[in-house]
Structure 1
Amino acid sequence: MKKILTTLFSITLIVLFSNCSHKKEKYATILYFNDAHQIYPVRDELGERGGVARLKTIVEKIKKENPETIVVFGGDLAGGTLFGGLYHGFPMIEAFNLIPIDIANFGQHDFDFGSDITKQLVDSSNFKWLSSNLKDNKNNTFNNLPTYIIEQKAGIKICFIGLTDNMNTTKQDGKIFQKDLFEACKNSLQKIKNETPDIIIALTQTSLKTNEKLINEFPQINAILTEEQYENSSNIYYVHKHPIVSPCGNMGSVVRVDLNKINDEISLKIEVHALDSLVAENKELAILQEKYKNKLNAELSKPIAKLLCPLPIKGNLYKETKAGNLITDAFRDYYNSDIALINGGGIRANVDKGVFSLKDAHSLLPFGNKICVVKLTGEDIYNFIENSLNDDKHKRESFLQISGASYKYISNKLVSIYINGNPINFDKKYTVALSNYLISGGEGLKKISKNKILISQEKALNDVDLLINYCKKKGEINPKIEARIVNLKIIK
């Protein structure tokens, strides 16, 4: 596999996979983007990018050049950010209906608030969704959606399939299941064969390595449009001349793919258009952006406590952190459980010291997980925590922050656990407050059986609500590092 193009925000580059000219002949265009976590532009240390108003400007410009255009969204519009945590993706659907887009695939974060919310998002859409590998508990395609979609533009029969990976990192509600990508791809391609498309394009939410394997196993896939590899660059790779195209994160760019059919041969021309400050905003969508931004800021600027120390995000995946201590203390305080846990990957923001607002709380915990209570033996707890640990090479989002207990470890092996100052008793049963996400096997941890659940997600409160109530009660919050988690390898 060869990487052939990287583009930063300030430039637009072109890769030509075969000689083609569109001056005299009709051609089809696909506009592709993904990772739409908030409706207005993202502003951070990488600059300003994204926003639906700029997206509509690019779409209108290219559709004016070529009416034979299909606008495709690759997935992830619901969760994963503060904006998504509050609005669950519905403002993005409203904007996409106005742009408008034509086809959408799912990312795993589109299920962060449960598959019932995802169905509402689909039902609110004026565009088509597809999935080739997501099934319900009756083994039907999720929401009875098609496994592939065929569009005809400029005399070219274009077939799309949709593949979604990493569903173990979203909410597990027992209503949505990820089937093997390769088996699903094989089944879809078999059905497509009778449709005799001119070109097959896979819309994927998976890793670059998996995309490469898909092309090697299924060479009839002409191109893959996939998830972002980087926040600030768009990338085009190829495997045996088959492109794998990855736009910027947070709607930072739009990929344009022009398809030309000459003597039954399809040629591809690929451009990357940055959605940066150089792109003018569509007025209608700019008003919509501002409406939601103002609404969000008004709601979230309300103070709830005074924070006496900063809460950096760094470290949540490999060591004890102040944010982890604060959050797990809030869970344990509400339920009066023996211990409380949160996976470090569920803590999503830096918070500066000073006024601690609703915005800060929702930024820390944007997923809306329910905090349940289970009763586990000491042995269960020991194994659960040990399975969450990193190895020497990888930091895992499963790494557990803790309250009411402390543990020491080396690499991915536990050395000791103390609960309430006493060595853990393998035979004793303890109450544990943790999210429904972890209970259901999120981050690859072992699923906790239903007969061990004392307070289920149906009766549980949201994680962010517990944090807010705890901080309000305290008035001033000043979490400390207390040797709750000790990496003995670092000490040595």
Structure 2
Amino acid sequence: MKKHFLFVALVLILGACRTAKVSTSKDEVAITFLHLNDVYEISPLDNGKIGGMARVATVRQNLLHENPNTITVLSGDFLSPSVTGTLRYEGKGIKGRQMVDVMNAVGVDWVCFGNHEFDLDEKDLQERINESKFNWLNSNALEKINGKLEPFGKVVNGTKMPFPKTQIYTFKNAKGEEVKMGMFGIVLPSNPKDYVWYDDFFEVARKTYNELKPQCDFVVALTHINRVDDIALAGMVPELKLIMGGHDHDNMIEKIGDVIMAKADANAKTAYIHRVVYNKATGKASVKSELKKINDQIPDNPEAAMVVKKWEDIADASFKAIGINKNEVITDLKEPLDGHESTVRNQQALMGSMIAKAMTAATPDATDCTFFNGGSIRIDDVVSGKMTQLDVLRVLPFGGKVIEVKMRGRLLEQILETGLKNKGSGGYLQWDRITYEAAKNEWYINGKLLDVNQEYKVVTSDFLLTGKERNLDFFTKTNPDIISVTDTFPEGDVRNDIRKAVIAYLKKN
């Protein structure tokens, strides 16, 4: 108990009794948030033009100089997925270790869970948590341990310290009056794992806010939920001042009543800077939000850059060890392939079409059509000109098998209709040999009108057949409209790894 008390006390001391430089009156306290979300890349993208965590570290240092009451937050999704995370180092998988190391160097203060943190198994997730120097805020996810539900936590000196459900910061204005700010963090239950139990995030958010409200002057939230749910949350808890969101990968800001909800672009291409000013005399808080581009106009922070370089060198060595020549050019693209999530999750894209065609080409038997989830494309960038093996790995860091499923037409129609409804999310489908006529709401498979009573040979990804994609929980091996599944292949068959199928296709075309 003493160790637990000391840990909690240390966390509170770190956030307590700060006096701001930036203030317009003696009654006011200014707090600045540097807000990131969904960061999988430690290095700049687009030939070094955008992103880069060493640049984020510079922005943070500048904000701290402007206002010592600066808090850097990352609203979920950073441990997975990434190419580096799939590699091995010191005899075991990296699995987000590079991200934690770089985030420690940047000086991140708080994170909440994202759904992709639970891509890791329980042991690896615990190791990443233990390596982190930042704090974790978690209000609605619990760990299943020996049949019991317990808070996730960090092991410190052999003792597991549970993550707080809430955090209260104490600041002082120029008069010496205390201003208390409460925070909580929630995550959506989109990644079911045996070791995780999710409480209803709406109910938890409302309950947690009601607990914080009597203790605090105002409350902010870190969330990793869908945009529509953030908007609903703002309506449910209209006195929240600021929702710093994640999960969506494109920058956005909305005002719902008096609540500001914002999300930055994924992979630190942008960050939000929220400047909050609370007036003790009036009891009101104002929020001014600035979308900051993280680009090559911002110099690297030297200390963070050293850590980034260390992991870039480790990744290079790991590629060589597994026989991957990351710099090998496999094709010279005639036109750019847009892999932005705003594209592949909303419309049929050239990159999605290319991958689907590669999946079709990898299957020797006659195939009626191919589809896969656009969310498996994770590069969130444009690939143009000379395309390398590394580009393919960045596009599809999850890998996975290319499988064959024989199914009835009524199931195929249901899947395709669901894919359309998933527009805007990772469950939107990219395809080959499929045409949709929206005016007639008709599907054509390999040039012929889809027949719900016909049997079709379909190529897809092994992930989709788990039923874990959004709204596609019915697509599993036990579905009565599935006739057969072929998902075991000889060693060396490119169907064992979709990335190898794409590389082989691009080398031939």
TM-score, scaled relative to structure 2: 0.69
Q: Distance in 2 between matches of 1:340 and 1:258?
A: 50
Q: Distance in 1 between matches of 2:221 and 2:493?
A: 36
**2:85–2:98 contact (8 Å) kept in structure 1:** no
Equivalent in the alignment of 1:5: none
**2:219–2:241 contact (8 Å) kept in structure 1:** yes
User: Where in structure 2 are the equivalents of 1:320-399 lying within 5 Å?
Assistant: 322-329=353-360, 332=363, 341-348=371-378, 350-352=382-384, 356-366=387-397, 368-371=398-401, 373=403, 377-379=407-409, 381-390=411-420, 397-399=426-428
Matched, 1:53 2:80: no
Equivalent in the alignment of 2:158: none
| Aligned residue among 159, 164, 171 for 1:146 | 164
* CA deviation profile, 1:115-171 (whole Å, cap 9, x unmatched): 665444333212221233335567947736433222333333221111334x54xx5
Q: Distance in 2 between matches of 1:432 and 1:228?
A: 28
Matched, 1:282 2:282: no
| Aligned residue among 217, 220, 228 for 1:201 | 220
**2:399–2:497 contact (8 Å) kept in structure 1:** no
Equivalent in the alignment of 1:131: 138
Equivalent in the alignment of 1:11: none
**1:369–1:436 contact (8 Å) kept in structure 2:** no
Q: Distance in 2 between matches of 1:79 and 1:62?
A: 28
Q: Distance in 1 between matches of 2:425 and 2:413?
A: 16
**1:75–1:106 contact (8 Å) kept in structure 2:** yes
Q: Distance in 2 between matches of 1:101 and 1:401?
A: 36
Matched, 1:224 2:251: no
| Aligned residue among 157, 161, 165 for 2:184 | 161
1:21 aligned counterpart, secondary structure: coil
* CA deviation profile, 1:288-343 (whole Å, cap 9, x unmatched): 2333345556746342745676573478633786413343136645x999975422
| Aligned residue among 243, 248, 272 for 2:260 | 243
Matched, 1:447 2:474: yes
**2:410–2:452 contact (8 Å) kept in structure 1:** no
1:152 aligned counterpart, secondary structure: strand
Report the alpha carbon displacement of residue 287 of structure 1 after superposing the two structures with TM: 1.9
**2:467–2:475 contact (8 Å) kept in structure 1:** yes
Once the two structures are aligned, what percentage of the paired residues are identical?
18
User: Compared with structure 1, are the counterparts of its residues 380 and 133 closer, same or farther at alpha carbon in structure 2 (3 Å cutoff)?
Assistant: farther
Equivalent in the alignment of 1:186: 206
Q: Distance in 2 between matches of 1:474 and 1:250?
A: 28
1:363 aligned counterpart, secondary structure: helix
Equivalent in the alignment of 2:497: 466
1:370 aligned counterpart, secondary structure: coil
Q: Distance in 1 between matches of 2:199 and 2:492?
A: 31
Q: Distance in 1 between matches of 2:304 and 2:285?
A: 34
Which residue identity is paired with 2:183? F
Q: Distance in 1 between matches of 2:69 and 2:164?
A: 23
Q: Distance in 1 between matches of 2:24 and 2:353?
A: 58
| Aligned residue among 80, 93, 100 for 1:93 | 100
Report the alpha carbon displacement of residue 202 of structure 1 after superposing the two structures with TM: 1.3
Equivalent in the alignment of 2:7: none
* CA RMSD between the two structures: 4.6
Report the alpha carbon displacement of residue 230 of structure 1 after superposing the two structures with TM: 7.9
Q: Distance in 2 between matches of 1:377 and 1:424?
A: 12
Equivalent in the alignment of 1:29: 31
**2:206–2:236 contact (8 Å) kept in structure 1:** no
Greater relative contact order (Cα < 8 A, sep 6+)? 1
Which residue identity is paired with 1:359? L
**1:365–1:464 contact (8 Å) kept in structure 2:** no
Report the alpha carbon displacement of residue 435 of structure 1 after superposing the two structures with TM: 2.7
TM-score, scaled relative to structure 1: 0.71
Equivalent in the alignment of 2:64: 63
User: Where in structure 2 are the equivalents of 1:378-457 lying within 5 Å?
Assistant: 378-379=408-409, 381-390=411-420, 397-401=426-430, 406-411=433-438, 413-417=441-445, 426=453, 433-449=460-476, 451=478
User: Compared with structure 1, are the counterparts of its residues 25 and 409 closer, same or farther at alpha carbon in structure 2 (3 Å cutoff)?
Assistant: closer
Which residue identity is paired with 1:267? A
| Aligned residue among 76, 96, 104 for 2:111 | 104
Equivalent in the alignment of 1:14: none
Which residue identity is paired with 1:71? T
Paired residues, what number? 443
Report the alpha carbon displacement of residue 359 of structure 1 after superposing the two structures with TM: 0.8
Q: Distance in 1 between matches of 2:81 and 2:485?
A: 28
| Aligned residue among 42, 46, 50 for 2:45 | 42
1:92 aligned counterpart, secondary structure: helix
Equivalent in the alignment of 1:270: 288
Report the alpha carbon displacement of residue 258 of structure 1 after superposing the two structures with TM: 4.0
User: Compared with structure 1, are the counterparts of its residues 332 and 288 closer, same or farther at alpha carbon in structure 2 (3 Å cutoff)?
Assistant: same
